[in-house]
Amino acid sequence: MIRVGRARPTAVVVKSAAAVAALALTVYLVWGLRSLIVPASVGGLLAYICRPLVARLERWRIPRALAVTLLLLIFALVVLVGLNSIRAIVPNEMAVLELRVRALYALHHRYQAVMELDPSWTRGNRLYRLTHRDLDPLVDRVSELLALTPEERAQLVESDQSSSHPASIGSWRLFEYERANARALEIRAGRAARAGSAARSSAAPPGGPATTSPERTTTSAPDTVASTWVIAPLIFLFLLADTGTIKRGLLRAVPNRLFEPALAVLADVDEALGNYVRGMFLECCSLGVTVIVFIAIVGVPLRWAIVIGIFTGASNTVPYMGFAAALLSGLAYALLAENVHPLLPFVTVDTFVVWVVVAVAFAELIKNVVYEPIVLGGAVKLHPIVVALGVVSGAILFGPAGMLLAIPTITVARVLAASSARHLTAYGVI
């Protein structure tokens, strides 16, 4: 009896130390391997989404291995088609320079029109007098980022001169934009110098060397991204091909008296996570399609509408990011658009920006009123403050991966705590 009395505190201490060491090791590994969180999570979430499809194919007497292989091939095909579509619309180096010229001209033109600025950029309307101390430095900073360096300007001129096609109206207009940009930058730099702020030049020679450093840092980025994303299809295959081995392995570590409660808790967590993932996937797809339809109606070309819709749907996996992505990308196109061909007769070039904002806001309203209650349902019952704090905390700790996984993690933790308390009480453990 004395030995038992002495052994029990020792066993408790040993088990507690082992638990603390295991927890510390887990935290260390998660932090050290945080670059794998997003690829592994994507593979796991896709597996959750596809589990009902695999079960349906098995009911059609298709072997599980063949069903998983077919789904993997379908996903690979979708990814290849998506990459080819993105590659087709990604601008080359000259197109990027032209886009910067047009964006800078649109920025100055819209800003001058809204603020009713005079040619010297010093006097404007009441809105300008109230906000110019905050907005002028922001406009100057964006102008510095968009302005062409002398080398880039020479490269643009050389490209136009070496082109085999004769100069078109578009190229003449582009160079008119560039001359207008140079004049506006010179005026704004002189105004800033007279006001006592640091003068900013349109040539921005200090920016030349700064553009070389990102190139050195991004040369190895594709290799790193490719090596980390290899884990996504592996996780997808392993989870879909699993027939309960993982769950049985987890349950073997559970004492016999806790076996049934642990089994019930795992079932609750599995159901909650699966409902959330599949509901979120359907909501993102629905929101993306809605944005595509609405902004195409107001005049955004279908090609760009599809790109904005896909970007919106992918961003919607993070709370509050879908609306921001649709609004920013829609406004970016609306501010740069020169010719608009809307399906609605009352949409004009002058009101195009307003109608893009209306279309995006209406799509967000439909998501909040229809898609979330019907598609996502009660999979996530979290207070908005909890959602906001979870997203911000995840971003601080793990960056984009934390933002993506904050809500699923909170959902699993909530279901795990509630289900454990309920089942342990029901089975008389506590």
219 has pLDDT over 60: no
Nearest to 352, CA basis, from 315, 397, 301: 301
Distance CA 396, CA 391 (A): 9
* pLDDT tops 50 at residue 5: no
| Residue 200 shares a structural domain with residue 307 | no
Mean pLDDT of 129-151: 85
The answer as to whether 387 is a domain residue is: yes
- Do 192 and 311 belong together in one domain? no
313 within 8 A of 287, measured Cβ to Cβ: yes
Minimum mean pLDDT range among 3-7, 89-93, 124-128, 277-281: 3-7
pLDDT of residue 416 exceeding 80 = yes
| pLDDT of 225 over the 70 cut | no
What percent of the chain is modeled with pLDDT above 90?
5
Would you say residue 123 lies in a domain? yes
Q: Is the residue at 369 inside a domain?
A: yes
Mean pLDDT value of segment 108-124: 83
Residue 260 shares a structural domain with residue 383: yes
Q: Which two tokens stand for residue 25?
A: 């090791």
Confidence tier at 424 by pLDDT (50, 70, 90): confident
Range from 213-217, 254-258, 352-356 carrying the lowest mean pLDDT:
213-217
Residue 214 pLDDT > 50, yes or no?
no
Confidence of residue 6 (pLDDT cuts 50, 70, 90): very low
| 331 and 286 within one domain | yes
Q: Does residue 281 surpass a pLDDT of 70?
A: yes
User: Do 195 and 332 share a domain, yes or no?
Assistant: no
108 found inside a domain? yes
pLDDT in tens, 376-391: 665 566 777 887 888 8
- Whether residue 271 sits in one domain with residue 352: yes
Q: Of the ranges 150-154, 288-292, 401-405, which one carries the lowest mean pLDDT score?
A: 401-405
| 215, part of any domain | no
pLDDT at 78: 82
pLDDT given for residue 208 in this prediction:
41
Q: Average pLDDT for residues 107-125, to the nearest whole number?
A: 83
- Verify that 262 and 383 share a domain, yes or no: yes
pLDDT at 144: 87
- The predicted pLDDT at position 96 comes to 83
Q: Amino acid letter at 302?
A: L
Residue finishing a domain among 154, 188, 210: 210
3-state secondary structure the chain: CHHHHHHHHHHHHHHHHHHHHHHHHHHHHHHHCHHHHHHHHHHHHHHHHHHHHHHHHHHCCCCHHHHHHHHHHHHHHHHHHHHHHHHHHCCCHHHHHHHHHHHHHHHHHHHHHHHCCCCCCCCCCHHHHHHHHHHHHHHHHHHHHHCCCHHHHHHHHHHHHHCCCCCCHHHHHHHHHHHHHHHHHHHHHHHHHHCCCCCCCCCCCCHHHHCHHHHHHHCCHHHHHHHHHCHHHHHHHHHHHCCCHHHHHHHHCCCHHHHHHHHHHHHHHHHHHHHHHHHHHHHHHHHHHHHHHHHHHCCCCHHHHHHHHHHHHHHCCCCCHHHHHHHHHHHHHHHHCCCCCCCCCCCCCCCHHHHHHHHHHHHHHHHHHHHHHHHHCCCCCCCHHHHHHHHHHHHHHHCHHHHHHHHHHHHHHHHHHHHHHHHHHHCCCC
Q: What is the mean pLDDT of residues 284-290?
A: 92
Region 182-188: mean pLDDT is 85
* 147 within some domain: yes
223 inside domain: no
Query: Domain residues for 393?
Result: 244-430
225: nearest Cα among 109, 341, 83: 83
Taking residues 302-320, report their average pLDDT.
87
pLDDT for 396 equals: 84
Is the confidence at residue 169, as pLDDT, over 70? no
Q: Please, are residues 407 and 395 in contact by the beta-carbon 8 Å criterion? A: no
Tell whether the model's pLDDT for residue 412 goes beyond 80.
yes
93 burial via Cβ count (<10 Å: 0-12, 13-18, 19+): exposed
Domain boundary pick from 195, 210, 225? 210
CB atoms near residue 185 (< 10 Å): 22
Question: Which tens digits make up the pLDDT trace of 245-274?
Answer: 877 777 787 777 888 888 888 888 888 887
Query: Are residues 257 and 195 located together in one domain of the fold?
Result: no
Contact between 296 and 302 under an 8 Å Cβ cutoff? The reply is yes
Q: What is the pLDDT of residue 18?
A: 79
Tokens 């309920």 found at: 422
Reported for 54-61, long-range contacts at CB under 8 A and 24+ positions apart, including other chains, are: 54/240
Look at residue 413 and tell me whether its pLDDT is greater than 80: yes
Q: Are residues 148 and 284 in the same domain?
A: no
pLDDT of 290 > 60? The answer is: yes
Angle at 178 between CA 114 and CA 210, to 5 degrees: 100
Q: For residues 169 and 255, state if they share a domain.
A: no
> How would you class 76 by CB atoms within 10 Å of its CB: exposed for 0-12, middle for 13-18, buried for 19 or more?
exposed
The yes-or-no verdict on residue 340 having pLDDT over 80 is: no
Residue 368 covered by a domain: yes
Confidence of residue 196 (pLDDT cuts 50, 70, 90): low
Q: Do residues 279 and 353 both lie within one domain?
A: yes
- Amino acid identity, position 100: R
> What average pLDDT does the chain have?
78
Q: What is the pLDDT of residue 82?
A: 74
Of 155, 185, 210, which marks where a domain is finished? 210
pLDDT at 138 over 90: no
Query: Is 284:317 a contact under the CB 8 Å cutoff?
Result: yes
One domain, residues 203 and 248: no
Number of domains in the chain: 2
In which residue are the tokens 């509901």 written? Answer: 279
Instruction: Give CA–CA dist 24/32, Å, rounded.
Output: 12
